[in-house]
Amino acid sequence: MATSLHVLMALGGLTVGLLGFTGWMGDARALDVPWLVPLSGLSLRMDPLGGFFLLLVGATTVPSSIYAIGYARGARRGLGAYALFVLAMAVVPLAANVPTFLLAWELMALASYALVLTDDRDPAAVRAAWIYAVMTHAGFACLLSGMLLMTAWTGSLTFADWRAAATTLSEPARNLVFVLLALGFAGKAGVIPLHVWLPAAHPAAPSHVSALMSGVMIKLGVMGILRVGLEWLGVGPPWWGVVLMLAGTLSALGGVLYAAVEVDLKRLLAFSSIDNIGIILIAVGAGFVFHSTGLETLAIFALAAAFYHILNHAAFKALLFLGAGAVVHGAGTRDLEAMGGLIKRMPWTSAAFLVGALAIAALPPLNGFVSEWLTFQALLQNGRIPRPELNLVFMLALAGLALTGGLAVACFVRAFGIAFLALPRTEAAAGAQEAGPTMRAAMALLVVACATLALTPTLLLPPLGATAARLLGDAAPSSREDLLTIAVSGDFATLSMPVIAAALGLGLVLPFVLLRVGHAPSRIRYYETWNCGRLLQTSRMEYTATAFASPFRRVFDFLYRPERVVEIEAHGESRFFVRRMVYRNPTRSLVEDWLYAPLLGAVRAGTARVRAIQSGSANLYLIYVLAALLVLLVLA
Amino acid sequence: MREIGAPAAVVGALAQALLVALAAPLLVGLVRALKARLTGRRGPDPWQPYLDILKQLRKEAVISTTASWLFRLTPFVLVATMLVAATVVPVLVTRPALSFAGGIMLLMYLFMLGTFFLALAGLDSGSAFGGMGSSREVAVAALAEPTVMLAVFALALRTGTTNLGTVAERLGGEPALAAHPGHLLAFLAFFIVMLAETGRLPVDNPATHLELTMIHEAMILEYSGPYLAMIEWASAMKLFLYMTLLINLFVPWWIPTEVTGAGMLLGMLALAGKLVLLAVALAVLETAVAKLRLFRVPELLAGSFALALLSVASVVLLR
């Protein structure tokens, strides 16, 4: 039954994806069921942006569901929640009024909450689910209040009416709505400092669900921000974009820095999702700033870069999560320090993970490089805004993005190198099994997706630009560029991915051929690794994940606040004979220490005060109800 | 952009890649010979690196039983990235064959691609030295990245493009553009990045024989025979390309914009002259300074970042 449902989900995902594709290409559709949802009825509208995100939902569901056939092995737990989760994610981008949107949004949150709790005997998963529930509902409260305010001020529950009405609103009112809604959506997107739930919740869910959560769900938060700031509220002041860019830079750097020292493979990927959301937000913020300073072409370009990165991240992050799931499945651990040597035991998974790692590290000729390049080019053109204070923000974002790119390379060298290379560090890793055929097929599908996205930017950018243009309220620019090369603002910069791929391929083959033609002897002797003359090569001589991250802990110690805990148990007779030694080097989270700990403390102190009126007597509570009613009647 | 035919482009690309590939070991040999002279040794002939590479190509390779296919693939990837990079950097003409493929960002990420594979190969043999080298190499590469982008941004603000060829042409045609504090600051920042990225003193010592102080050499400790030859050769190309890039981005005079006999000859002579000057500067610097402690390297890179930041700020404010 589980298998047939997953097959059904894959087919459903395909249908949804195709539907989304037609919508993205400009096929407008509408569906209204007045009796289904209270207040206004269910109302769905397909526009290019909604179609784009629907395509994202469908296209990621297909490999995830195929993977689940082998991964879940017929387990029935969480099946309903999985179906509901995908359904809710498919409704969110199309929702055309407030009740439909909020209902779908909440359904998505609840279904994913249930999925985080799939393994409810794991205390870490229970805690993760709890944090997730609190954070997502705090975000929901922000969304609800923002949307209700907007409804009250514009007199309409339909999003389409808001754009026209927003121009009549006062500046503070628009700012308030923007802040509330952006906070709610940023919470779902996992923007620092609202990210605390993400690295806990994503790893706790089964890997194919993690792929969907990281690849798609958090992007719907970005979609919300796009809709608020560009569609529902019209043209905003530049500071909206500036705030988004700064938050994006913070998320990108923070996310990658925590990913670089994380030893839990799935948590590492979750932190890297925060990093990528940051990159997307930098591009979105740049689009906002260009839009509000009247540079529409550049705004469209920046938003197209953001869309491209959204697609790319869905492809490679889903790939990496599925690869991590295969490792968890095969080696039975999520701890990098317990892996090693998997490249010889799980060759297919290793190759797929390597492609994902190269793509996410933005290395040519894979897809991550395309969107990173586009984002850089969008940022580099800020010289056309004649305002030094805005140039400064762009400069910070540029430097932050560059550092993020460098650190992502380091992070994924570490993730792949420690997990897959050298000797296995544990028995479990030594006995790891390769993933089954459906799991491998799903990963292969995503490898193909990464390669396709890498080679076809010239095909993808015009529709992405058109989507951005529609969002900004412009007519679509219909410039069709040549198939090989993307040109940015004339001669500013050009990119040709097929040429890069071909040149690299040629460069790879050329020395090989030359060695053959030159008759270089191909004598190879296999021998053990040189280790300063030691006799035995064991996995204990390998560099560990913790040691690999040590330079980062040293350089960015203000952020990690690392502690060194060394416990030495010596022999009774002499302290120079060590019996056992424990070395730990934990890092801490600045956000949790400085923001959430005081906040939770304040909440606890506040609730302790409120407890005074809680007597437990039903009569007293009835008096409270009466008093509240009277106050409301007087106010009304 | 001038239209050139595809066959001509391929021939041009191959010619430039060939030139870089053939000339790179000489540059390494020259720096070594100069350093030897400066420290009062006679030192090897500048042509010695060619002999080394040829000797290694003929030898048997020893490969660790721990290593995987990735270890054997890495030298090829490294050579491939450098060959492609050689067709992107303006060396012979301002717009080499693949100058349109992605500009300076492509170049930086190609170098990163090489670093990525080399760092993985360092981990692959399971030796502690390899892992140590990898960890340090990626840390240095990551920290150098923001400086590059800001220096590029400073140039883009001055010349209105990030296309390497156009930067060189605009600065070459209008030398007054280079007379700006931002230009000099960006040059200094980029110079420090070059030292870090190509593993020179004071960041890494290319001549060290002590494993604990190594960065680049520790990563490639397990390589031998033809594989080692390819890695050494790729490292030489990286140094050549970085130095050429530095020269042709910041002092791009006498580089031909068209493919003509006399112009090319003048361009090659000018390039050779400028490279010798920079090699002397590098040799003097490497003789004069000691290697920094590893955890002082971030301070040096932070310094170069500050220079780049100042450069951009001066361009924005003095506009």
- Considering chain A, what is the average pLDDT of its residues? 89
**Residue B191 and residue B249 in contact, taking contact as beta carbons nearer than 8 Å:** no
The per-residue pLDDT for A578 is 79
Q: Which pLDDT score is estimated for A186? A: 95
Which tokens go with A283? 């591009």
Which of A155, A271, A148 has the alpha carbon at shortest distance from A202? A271
**Interchain CB distance below 8 Å, A492 and B132:** no
Of A299, A514, A606, A542, which Cα lies nearest the Cα of B67?
A: A542
pLDDT at B250: 86
Contacts of A423 in chain B (CB under 8 A): 66, 126
- How many structural domains are present in chain B? 1
B-chain CB neighbours of A399 within 8 Å are: 146, 149-150, 305, 309
Can you tell me the distance from the alpha carbon of B215 to that of A65, in angstroms, rounded to the nearest whole number?
A: 44
Residue of chain A with shortest Cα separation from B61: A524
Burial class (CB in 10 A: 0-12, 13-18, 19+), A510: middle
- B1: in domain: no
Those residues with Cβ within 8 angstroms of residue A589's Cβ, 6 or more apart along the chain or in another chain: A196, A258
Interchain proximity B146–A547, CB inside 8 Å? no
- CB nearest A530 (choices: B127, B166, B226): B127
Q: What is the pLDDT of residue B2?
A: 44
Numbers of helices and strands, H then E, in chain B: 11, 1
- Residues A370-396 have a mean pLDDT of 89
DSSP A432-446: --PPPHHHHHHHHHH
The residue of B53, B70, B89 whose CB has the most chain A CBs within 10 angstroms, and thus the best one to mutate to test that interface, is B70
Q: Is the pLDDT of residue A528 over 90?
A: no
Least confident of A126-135, A513-522, B55-64: A513-522
Q: Supply the ipTM of this predicted assembly.
A: 0.94
CA-nearest residue to A533 within chain B is B127
Residue A636 has pLDDT above 60, yes or no: yes
Q: Is residue A74 predicted with pLDDT exceeding 70? A: no
Q: Across the interface, do A406 and B103 touch by the CB < 8 Å criterion?
A: no
The full DSSP string for A108-129 is HHHHHHHHHTTSTT-HHHHHHH
The two beta strands, A493-495 and A486-488, are antiparallel
Q: Which of A239, A486, A225 has its CA nearest to residue A377?
A: A486
Pairing relation of β-strands B61-64 and A524-527? Answer: parallel
At a CB cut-off of 8 Å and minimum separation 6, what does A92 contact? Answer: A53, A101, A104, A105, A108, A220, A223
Q: In terms of Cα–Cα distance, which of A358, A354, A355, A365 is closest to A457?
A: A365
**SS3 of residue B161 by DSSP:** coil
Domain that holds residue B193: 6-317
| Interatomic CA distance for residues B97 and B94, integer angstroms | 10
Of all residues in chain A, the one with the smallest CA distance to B100 is: A494
A554 contacts B127? CB cut-off 8 A: no
| Tens digit of each residue's pLDDT (9 = 90 or more) over A34-71 | 888 778 888 999 999 999 999 999 999 999 999 999 88
Is the pLDDT score of A476 beyond 60?
no
Q: Which two tokens stand for residue A439?
A: 């799991």
Select the residue of B100, B116, B127 nearest A363 (Cβ to Cβ): B116
**Domain residues of chain A, as ranges?**
1-234, 590-635
Indicate if the pLDDT at residue A1 is higher than 90: no
Cα end-to-end distance, chain B, whole Å: 28
- At A483 the pLDDT is 57
What pLDDT shows up at residue A59? 94
**Contact present, A288 and A241 (Cβ < 8 Å):** yes
Chain A hits for B105, CB-CB cut-off 8 Å, are 372-373, 376-377, 493
Residue A95 has phi, psi (to 5 degrees) of: -55, 130
Contact yes or no for B55/B102 (Cβ under 8 A): no
Burial letters for A132-152: b for 16+ Cβ neighbours within 10 Å, e otherwise? bbebbeebbebbbbbbebbbe
> A139 to each of A102, A191, A195, A242, how far by Cα in Å?
11, 12, 11, 21
Average pLDDT, stretch A370-376?
93
Rounded Cα–Cα distance for residues A579 and B70 (Å): 38
Owner of token pair 């999985």: A82
Question: The whole model's pTM is what?
Answer: 0.93
Average pLDDT over residues A415-424: 92
> For A588-616, what is the mean pLDDT?
86
Rounded Cα gap, residues A6 and A271, in angstroms:
28
Which has the higher per-residue pLDDT, A110 or A166?
A110
| Token pair 């095969």 in the structure block, residue | A330
> Which pLDDT value is given to residue A576?
76
- pLDDT per residue over A181-209, tens digit each? 999 999 999 998 898 899 999 888 999 99
Helix axes A265-292, A367-380, angle to 10 degrees: 30
pLDDT cut 90: percent of chain A above it: 53
> For A529-579, how does the pLDDT look when each residue is reduced to its tens digit (9 = 90+)?
877 776 677 888 888 888 898 888 888 888 887 777 788 887 777 777 777
The conformation of residue A544, written as its DSSP 8-state character, comes to P
Counting as low any pLDDT under 50, the low residues of chain B are 1-3
